[in-house]
Every structure is written in structure tokens, then in C-alpha cells.
Amino acid sequence: MTRPIPPMSRRSALTLLAGAAPLIVAPRVLGADGTVAPSRRITMGFIGLGVHGLGYNLANFLQHDDAQIVAVCDVFASRRRKARETVDAKYGTQGCREYADFRELLADPGIDAVCISTPDHWHVPIAMMALEAGKDVMCEKPTLTIAEGRALVEKVAAKKAVYQVGLEDRSTSHYHKLAQLVRNGAVGDLRRITAGLPSGKPFPKEEPAPAPDDLNYKMWLGPAPFHPYTPNRTHHEYWRQIRDYSGGMLTDWGAHLLDTAQVANFAEASGPVSVEGKGTYAQNSLATMPVEFEVTYRYANGVELLAKSGGVMLRFEGDKGWIGNDGWLGGLKASDPGLLRIAIPPEQDKIWPRPAGEHRNFLDCVASRAPTTYTAEAGQRLSTLLHLGNISIKLGRKLAWDPATETFPGDDAANALRSRVSSEDWKA
């Protein structure tokens, strides 16, 4: 059950729980020893505390003195308990609040911002409600549909909120450097980009089973269609391969490598003009997204982007040669090593300076109200690129795309796949 609390003022992380024992306060919480005073901290709530939510997002925000984690929420009781204990141990307090229902966390007036690390089908619904509640938002990638992503962009603008997509690539030296070199002419006229992604995993089908007492399965499903609980359905390596909850490896790993591809091509604010994809599906499998795939995007400037399964890599080819790398964070390679050492005067650089990591950047932008590294609009353009590939694979044909209107011109069947009907059952 949710631990009851009295009303709290904004940015207050020190209020006593109703009926609780006196709060144990460490010196750092009071702003001693050169740390940030409580009144200047950004109070945060965390929704979704699986492997990434706890081990990456929460762990990173705990390293910043101007962030104060005051509440955690997950549909797994054991996960939210572990997160609360992690926060309290870090701060030397007993003050982190624990919620079973994210709506109660969003109603907490003592929270300035939230970090959402749920499965993909929950990203936009929770983010929209957080924005409506007056919170700034950091939310993991990607969206689930093109239409919901555009609605999110409009909501962020209407609320004048700070929004950060949880994606590190523009802050990662390897990928920022590749985009910088290509944008500044290292390979000459860019002609072709190849992005290698992991293959999907053909998990076997499972028989329905009772959901564990630890899990609120109805809330885990949320806006997704009902399906009986199966033992591995809620595991992150499984749900990513199921269309009801995610978009497979194309929207997972593709969100990383294909963003760098679009940035290098000066296309991060637009997108391709056509897409043609093909894929193969596993038989008798829990996975409903392609296990193997190959998608070709073409841009108005003539550049071709090929995204294919089979192994992680990135390569940019132009009329002067190629540059790229193999594997995640692999060392940079080139047809001529000299291409990696071109001089770029700062005043002529055609890319922004490499920003801080997404967690540090989010906190800075909440304080300054400046745009983040990965705005909602940037996230929409990236997620849309990935959804286009899956839609083309599903329909089995080449599609024209208008990035200005975000429509498939004259194609009713394709346009119908820009959105999905969401379940309302979880609200009862």
C-alpha cells in the first residue's frame, strides 16, 4: 500500500511522514560540507524501477547534489522497496516515499520533476499525465506510435515544460565525433549510411500462469491490450520483442545508432521521404516483432540510410571515403585515418558542442528552463523514423513519407498504423 503523507511544499524533501518516527537527517541533506542547500534542490520522483530505472537513471541522479529523490513508484512491490532503500541509504535518511500507483506520485505537490523508466507502451501516457500535473519530465525512449509522440510534443509546448528523452548518444564522445566529422565534410558529400543493429530474440511461447503477488499485472499492462500473464512477459528482454509493448530491436537499439545517422545527415529535425523494409518473424514465439530485418530510408538530399539486423556497427560513406565504428562505443575507423583528424575551427563547426550526460543536462535545464539535449521534438523525429521501418515491414511494401505533415501521402492503410487504440481498463 502507498505510505500516507501530509501535503508538501515544492522542493521540500524533509517533511515528516504522517505518524512516522522522527526523520534521521544526514549533514549533506542540510546543505553542510559544501553541498547544495535543500531549497535549491530539484525534487524528483521515479516511475519504473527495473534494470535501467534503478541501475542507470536513479543511480545517476543520486550522484548530483542538486537533485533530491523523494519518491519512487513501480508495479513490482519488491522493486519500489529496493529503490526506496537505495535512496534512503544514499542520503542517510528515512524520507523517500513509496507509491504503488504512479497517479498518487504525480499528485504529490512536493515533486518538481519525474523520471519515467517503464516499458515503452507506458512512456507517453505517464509523461502526458506528469506534464498535466505540472512536472518537468525525463522519459526513456521511444514512443509507441507516431501519433502519440506528436501529441506529447504539443503538450510539452502548451505546458512550457522541460522535457528530456532518456538517451545518451549526443553526449557520448564516439557518436558525437562521428556526426561532427560527417557534418563538417570529412567524407565529402555524404551518400550512404549503414547502421547495424542486434537481431531480435525468438523467445518461445509460454502458457498462462498466475501473476506473482509482488506484481500489479493489470497496471503493468495499462493501455496495452489484455493478455493473460505469462512468466517472462514482463521481463525487459521479452516485452521489447512484443508489439503491444514495444517495437523490437528497431526501436530499441535503433534509437541509439539511427539518431547519430540523422544528425550526421542534418536530418534530426525532419526525416526521410521514403522507407522500404522487410523482415522475418519467429515461429511459435512470444516475440511478435521481426527477428531479422532490413530497412532502407531515403532522404530528400539523396542520402540512403540502411538499418539492418545482425550486429552493431555504424558507417558513413561519401565521395572522399568512409568513417565509422563496430560495436557499441567501438573505436573510430576510416578508409583513411586522416579523415578522423580533419581540423575543424570552433567558429566553423557545424554541430553543437558535446553536451553533458542526459541526467546532468536535465537538471541544468530544469533550473535554467533552456531546451534539453533531447527535446520532445527530437525524440518524436527519432521515434518516427523507427516506427516508419516497422510499418513498412508490417505492410510489406515501400512507402512514401512526408516529414512536414507526418503522413503517408494518399496511403490510408499506412496512415492507420500511425496510431493505436489504447485500453482504458487499468483506470478502473
Residue 34 pLDDT class (50, 70, 90 cuts): low
Residue 9 pLDDT class (50, 70, 90 cuts): very low
342: DSSP letter: -
Taking residue 1's Cβ as centre, other Cβ atoms within 10 Å add up to 8
* Structure confidence at residue 240 (pLDDT): 96
Angstrom distance (rounded) from CA 11 to CA 91:
16
Q: What mean pLDDT is reported for the chain? A: 92
Residue 33 pLDDT class (50, 70, 90 cuts): low
Strands (E), 231-340: 274-280, 292-298, 304-309, 313-318, 321-326, 333-334
**For the whole model, what pTM was predicted?**
0.90
Which residues contact residue 55 at a Cβ distance below 8 angstroms, ignoring those fewer than 6 apart?
none
Taking residue 409's Cβ as centre, other Cβ atoms within 10 Å add up to 12
Residue 428 pLDDT class (50, 70, 90 cuts): confident
Higher pLDDT, 31 or 346: 346
Residue 36 pLDDT class (50, 70, 90 cuts): confident
Strands (E), 11-135: 42-47, 67-73, 97-99, 113-116
Is the Cα dihedral 265, 117, 313, 342 positive or negative?
positive
Residue 28 pLDDT class (50, 70, 90 cuts): very low
Residue 29: is its pLDDT beyond 70?
A: no
* CA nearest neighbour of 91 among 138, 135, 32: 32
pLDDT tens, 371-417? 999 999 999 999 999 999 999 999 999 999 999 999 999 999 999 99
Residue 10 pLDDT class (50, 70, 90 cuts): very low
* CA nearest neighbour of 267 among 323, 316, 207: 316
Percentage with pLDDT > 90 across the chain = 89
* Structure confidence at residue 35 (pLDDT): 64
Strands (E), 74-170: 97-99, 113-116, 136-140, 163-166
Return the domain boundaries, the chain: 27-169, 173-348+376-427
* CA nearest neighbour of 389 among 399, 377, 379, 378: 399
Among 2-11, 281-290, 305-314, 346-355, which is the least confidently predicted range?
Answer: 2-11
Strands (E), 198-289: 274-280
* Structure confidence at residue 20 (pLDDT): 35
Q: What is the mean pLDDT of residues 167-182?
A: 97
Cis peptide before 142 (omega within 30 of 0): yes
**CATH architecture of the domain formed by 27-169:** 3-Layer(aba) Sandwich (3.40)
Phi first, then psi, for residue 220 (nearest 5°) are -60, -45
Among 21-30, 65-74, 187-196, 399-408, which is the least confidently predicted range?
Answer: 21-30
Among 22-31, 96-105, 112-121, 284-293, which is the least confidently predicted range?
Answer: 22-31
Residue 335: is its pLDDT beyond 50?
A: yes
pLDDT tens, 214-239? 999 999 999 999 999 999 999 999 99
Superfamily of domain 173-348+376-427: Dihydrodipicolinate Reductase; domain 2 (3.30.360.10)
